[in-house]
Amino acid sequence: MSARIIDGKAFAAQLRRRVAAEVDRIRSGAGVTPGLAVVLVGDDPASQVYVRAKGRQTVEVGMESFEHRLPDTTSEADLLALIGRLNADVRVHGILVQLPLPPQIDPAHVLDAISPEKDVDGFHVVNAGRLSTGQEAMVPCTPLGCLMMLRAELGVLAGKRAVVVGRSNIVGKPMAQLLLADDCTVTIAHSRTRDLRAVVRSADIVVAAVGRPRMIPGDWIRPGATVIDVGINRIAAGGKTRLVGDVDYDGAADVAGAITPVPGGVGPMTIACLLSNTLTACCRIHGLPAPDLGNA
């Protein structure tokens, strides 16, 4: 079998067009322009690439973009003070502090300081709690993007056996919550899981969020399964570098029913969902009906 390729770039472009249309609508209707503030501490090259892409796409959908670049010597107190100002700024509806942060800053303190209603990453404990108890939440962008692609690929997810490999607070755990909310039978695997091969082999849906290049070989995949590869791993390739996922793409594409490529899969959807979350946050803050763009 040869898997369908789930085109995350095309999905993301389509979601951005819908966001742009809604931004237009609330600007002319309510006189409100959604604004997203992105904070980058330090000069990690990968983070700079993401932050630049976010800023550009924010402007492209008609939102206001506020970028704050701080030196990697920034103190936690100074970063918390900036977050306080962004929380109070009525032009700002979404706040994202790019991770990872330099070692003198405790990410938990930072995520805690962001007003939950402006927490477009969905990393605040209030949003994690709201998601896991089935209340209206800001949903983390990466799992939300994965869910949207899975729904588009499979239709109803109820009853599917889903295996999420990875249990981080930003990807694995919220991904499992979203699949559970869509009535999947969910297994969360991690570094202490016994016989990972057999666990993965049982899945109709595999979401890989580990951070180990091609750790999941094709022969672990159940024939016809849908594979969502969250991993973004930069590896050396003939003097240059390239990105690969957590799944061996070539091997898995022979057996899977459908698979996301890396790059061009989950990554672009993550940024599109960030824009969608900013629109949602803006609508909730201003008491406007939030459009349903496939949100959880």
Ligand X SMILES: NC(=O)C1=CN([C@@H]2O[C@H](COP(=O)(O)OP(=O)(O)OC[C@H]3O[C@@H](n4cnc5c(N)ncnc54)[C@H](OP(=O)(O)O)[C@@H]3O)[C@@H](O)[C@H]2O)C=CC1
Ligand Y SMILES: Nc1nc(=O)c2c([nH]1)NC[C@@H]1CN(c3ccc(C(=O)N[C@@H](CCC(=O)O)C(=O)O)cc3)C=[N+]21
54 is catalytic: yes
Least separation in angstroms between CB 30 and ligand Y: 28
Interface with ligand Y includes 277 (CB under 6 A)? no
Q: Which of 57, 98, 173, 229 is catalytic?
A: 98
User: What is the secondary structure of 226-288 as a DSSP string?
Assistant: EEEE---EEEEETTEEEEE-SB-HHHHHTT-SEE--SSSSHHHHHHHHHHHHHHHHHHHHTTP
Interface with ligand X includes 175 (CB under 6 A)? no
Least separation in angstroms between CB 244 and ligand Y: 11
Q: Which of 57, 118, 119, 121 is catalytic?
A: 121
Residues 172 and 188: beta-carbon distance below 8 Å: yes
140-159: contacts with ligand Y (CB under 6 A): 141
| Sign for the pseudo-dihedral over CA of 47, 259, 119, 124 | negative
For the CA atoms of 100, 69, 104, 107, the dihedral, rounded to the nearest 10 degrees, stands at -40
Interface with Mg ion includes 276 (CB under 5 A)? no
Residues 64 and 34: beta-carbon distance below 8 Å: yes
- DSSP-derived letter for residue 220 is G
Interface with ligand X includes 263 (CB under 6 A)? no
Interface with ligand X includes 186 (CB under 6 A)? no
- 232 is an annotated ligand-binding site residue: yes
- Half-sphere exposure (Cβ direction) of 51: Cα atoms closer than 13 Å: 23
3-state secondary structure at position 161? strand
78 is catalytic: no
Interface with ligand Y includes 121 (CB under 6 A)? yes
Interface with ligand Y includes 50 (CB under 6 A)? yes
Interface with ligand Y includes 267 (CB under 6 A)? yes
Instruction: For residue 40, give the H/E element and its range.
Output: strand 35-41
* 213 exposure class (CB count in 10 Å sphere: 0-12, 13-18, 19+): middle
98 is catalytic: yes
Q: What tokens does 118 get?
A: 């402006």
The interface partner of residue 231, options being Mg ion, ligand X, ligand Y, none and the CB cut-off 5 to 8 Å by kind, is ligand X
71 Cβ neighbours under 8 A, 6+ residues apart = 41, 42
Match 């580990």 to its residue by tokens. Answer: 210
Residues 93 and 86: beta-carbon distance below 8 Å: no
Least separation in angstroms between CB 122 and Mg ion: 7
Nearest residue (CB) to ligand Y, 19 versus 26: 19
Least separation in angstroms between CB 233 and ligand X: 5
- 264 is an annotated ligand-binding site residue: no
Least separation in angstroms between CB 228 and ligand X: 10
Interface with ligand X includes 231 (CB under 6 A)? yes
Binding positions for ligand X, rule: CB under 6 A: 142, 165-168, 170-172, 189-193, 196, 209-212, 230-233, 266-267, 270
Bind-site residues for NADP(+): 166-168, 232
Residues that bind Mg ion (CB under 5 A): 140-142
Q: Write out the catalytic residue numbers.
A: 54, 98, 121
Contacts with ligand Y, residue ranges (CB under 6 A) = 49-50, 96-99, 121, 141, 232, 243, 262-264, 267-268, 270-271
